[in-house]
Amino acid sequence: ILNVEQSPQSLHVQEGDSTNFTCSFPSSNFYALHWYRWETAKSPEALFVMTLNGDEKKKGRISATLNTKEGYSYLYIKGSQPEDSATYLCACPGAGNNRKLIWGLGTSLAVNP
Amino acid sequence: DGGITQSPKYLFRKEGQNVTLSCEQNLNHDAMYWYRQDPGQGLRLIYYSQIVNDFQKGDIAEGYSVSREKKESFPLTVTSAQKNPTAFYLCAIIINPTIISNQPQHFGDGTRLSIL
């Protein structure tokens, strides 16, 4: 059974700090890695879908890297702002024809002004 | 996401009652999903549909039913057989159902269901 784990569970940083968190997944039978941001009272928003080992993607101050051989992805936020406060979820497609997403529990980020 | 509408935002269910959660999309996408979120747990898939008139059970389908009579609509019924229905329910779509693993999912705003 595919297990997607995220760490830390929660994080508190000051405005302006840079931060990063981890998503771990089994390295065998890898298809893709998804990152989402889920702000309170809103719906989850897709950030990145990554498929290639060594992939690096960027969206504004947020970037992500992927290591499929060792089974992890890092999400980085440079110069955190209060509006970055959210839960960050990662997910991987499981086995089978439909590749249903298996979700991590998320990292809850709070950025203090 | 403006193209996916879930309603109602809040719903209360009495014991023994069936309730239906609505998910509508005007984006002309084929694949639609229902997830349930509980505190301390990841999103869990209830049902999904890749095409009209077809749907598949997810990981926790017991006590739920769905229909997909129209492309734009994928309602979820929480039946009285679902003994612990209190949760946050999210509907999602993807653009290209033939390459599911590489496609980001786009979510509605969710429905919070509680037991009276």
Q: Quick one: closest CA in B to A44, which residue? A: B107
Res A72 pLDDT > 80: yes
In degrees, to the nearest 5, what angle opens at C-alpha A4 toward C-alphas B107 and A88?
Answer: 45
pLDDT in tens, A21-71: 999 999 888 889 999 999 988 899 999 999 999 999 999 999 999 999 999
Question: Nearest CB to B104: which of A49, A100, A102?
Answer: A49
Res B97 pLDDT > 70: no
- A77 at the B interface (CB within 8 A)? no
In this prediction, residue A58 carries a pLDDT of 97
Strand partners, B46: none
* Chain B, window 45-104: residues with a beta carbon less than 8 angstroms from a chain A beta carbon: 45, 48, 50, 56, 58-59, 90, 100-104
State mean pLDDT over B66-83.
95
Question: Nearest CB to A44: which of B41, B102, B107?
Answer: B107
In this prediction, residue A40 carries a pLDDT of 87
With a CB cutoff of 8 Å and minimum separation 6, the contacts of A109 are A10, A11, A12, A13, A19, A21, A77, A80, A84, A85, A86, A87, A88
In this prediction, residue A97 carries a pLDDT of 61
Q: For testing the chain B interface, which of A5, A38, A68, A101 should be mutated: the one with the most B CBs within 10 Å? A: A101
User: Which percentage of chain B shows pLDDT scores above 90?
Assistant: 67
| Residue B104 DSSP symbol | P
Q: Quick one: closest CA in B to A89, which residue? A: B42
Res B2 pLDDT > 60: no
In this prediction, residue B99 carries a pLDDT of 64
User: Measured between beta carbons, which residues in chain A are less than 8 angstroms from residue B45?
Assistant: 100-101
Which CA distances in Å does A5 have to A28, A59, A68, A82, B110?
15, 23, 14, 25, 24
Res B9 pLDDT > 60: yes
Yes or no: say if B33 and B52 are a contact pair by the CB < 8 Å rule: no
Q: For testing the chain B interface, which of A50, A103, A105, A107 should be mutated: the one with the most B CBs within 10 Å? A: A103
In this prediction, residue B1 carries a pLDDT of 47
Cα B107 to its chain centre, rounded Å, is 10
In this prediction, residue A1 carries a pLDDT of 60
Question: Nearest CB to A99: which of B56, B100, B104?
Answer: B100
Q: What is the mean pLDDT of chain B?
A: 90
Other residues' Cβ atoms within 10 Å of the Cβ of residue A21: 21
State mean pLDDT over B25-38.
90
